[in-house]
């Protein structure tokens, strides 16, 4: 059965919740759609986080990112949405999501959104 895009982020228990350590993901095949022109936007999404009690399961992260493929979104909005959804699912100690978008209209855009546990 082929995989389908999904907004559901699965998690698992952090194997070392008493230790601060960083998990990093680089997702070079992210796509969404320009909300003005309908043309595809391509980006590398970089995620860095210090887990607390939960870690994200990688297949669910892949399917989650795939779910943006046909969504019209500005770079700033989609990067912040990814951060918000991951923070809601994981409640990490800290997280940074970077959207590194390919050139559009002669402009290269990098958006970095940050979260720190209160």
Q: Which of 27, 34, 52, 85 is catalytic?
A: 34
Q: Which of 32, 41, 55, 100 is catalytic?
A: 41
SS3 of 100, please?
strand
Query: Is residue 34 among the annotated active site residues?
Result: yes
Distance CA(109)–CA(3), nearest Å, equals 30
Query: Is residue 41 among the annotated active site residues?
Result: yes
Distance CA(57)–CA(36), nearest Å, equals 33
Strand partners, 55: 12
Q: Which residues are part of the catalytic machinery?
A: 34, 41
């Amino acid at each position: 059965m082929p995989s389908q895009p999904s907004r559901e982020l699965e998690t698992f228990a952090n194997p070392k919740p008493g230790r601060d350590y960083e998990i990093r993901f680089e997702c070079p095949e992210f796509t969404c759609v320009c909300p003005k022109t309908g043309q595809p936007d391509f980006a590398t999404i970089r995620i860095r986080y210090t887990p607390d009690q939960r870690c994200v399961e990688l297949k669910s992260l892949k399917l989650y990112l795939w779910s943006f493929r046909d969504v019209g979104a500005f770079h700033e909005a989609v990067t912040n949405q990814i951060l918000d959804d991951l923070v809601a699912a994981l409640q990490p100690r800290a997280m940074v999501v970077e959207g590194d978008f390919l050139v559009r209209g002669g402009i290269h855009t990098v958006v970095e959104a940050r979260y720190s546990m209160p």
